[in-house]
Amino acid sequence: MRKKMIAGNWKMNNTPAEGAKLVQDIKAAADAATCDVVVCTPFVCLPSALEAAKGSHVQVAAQNMHYEDKGAFTGEISSVMLKDMGVTHVVLGHSERREYFAESDQTVNLKTKKALMENIVPIVCVGESLEQRETGIAFDWIRMQVKLALLGIAKEDVKRVVIAYEPIWAIGTGKTATDEQANEVCGVIRSALKELYDAETADEMRILYGGSMNAKNAQGLLAQSDIDGGLIGGASLKAEDFSTIIGFAG
């Protein structure tokens, strides 16, 4: 059985004080759950979130990182810095990073390798636009993203990678793939992992759904055979809603 993960992506929201309060408010739900609970915070919120999470089951992730340890990269944060702070996870290749900040499949691959080197769990995002879905290339597009993100990563290392499927057309729009649509694409991702590695590896890897999962639709989505959790956006900013989703994951 794959252990479920509920990860809350705060995006560019919450001050350090607000973030600390939010972590405090979800600790009870996280501590009662058997799933992994992760909050993905802005860089400035990492110290306060880590402090608030001490002694609880809440784990803390960054929303991005650079693939070099140090250097003349103004505005960037390295995996070494994150690890030294106690950060355990990092979101890589989110569609907003790809669309607004020129993230590419190649940089996602470099960052994924670097995260694994530092024993930070990479949550690697893939997904299609509405145009790609409507023209029938969504599955091929996502297979390509998965294969390029994992290029050169050995089987013994890739099992630590978490894949998040986020249909771009369903992020921040209020639109959501049906349970069956979401599960179908997660199944495509699992088949791509099987092609890259083997059936055992594909069966062990966790695939999250990240398209506007909320307290109302989470139970159905989380009941699907190939959905192992959620990368939650707006609903992760509300402690009550996020706690409800955690409860559905068990």
Helix (H, G, I), strand (E, B) or coil at 22: helix
Residue 66's contacts (CB-CB under 8 Å, 6 or more residues apart) are 73, 76, 77, 78, 79, 111
What CATH class has 5-249? alpha beta
Compute the distance between CA of residue 19 and CA of residue 123 in angstroms, rounded to an integer. 20
Catalytic residue among 96, 103, 118, 166: 166
Catalytic residue among 89, 94, 103, 118: 94
pTM of the shown model: 0.95
User: Has 166 been annotated as catalytic?
Assistant: yes
User: Has 94 been annotated as catalytic?
Assistant: yes
Q: By C-alpha distance, which of 49, 37, 110 is closest to 82?
A: 49
Walk along the chain (250 residues) and give the pLDDT tens digit of each residue: 899 999 999 999 999 999 999 999 999 999 999 999 999 999 999 999 999 999 999 999 999 999 999 999 999 999 999 999 999 999 999 999 999 999 999 999 999 999 999 999 999 999 998 889 889 999 999 999 999 999 999 999 999 999 999 988 877 666 767 899 999 999 999 999 999 999 999 999 999 999 889 999 999 999 999 999 999 999 999 999 999 999 999 8
Instruction: Answer yes or no: are the C-beta atoms of 214 and 237 closer than 8 Å.
Output: no
Instruction: Answer yes or no: are the C-beta atoms of 4 and 36 closer than 8 Å.
Output: yes
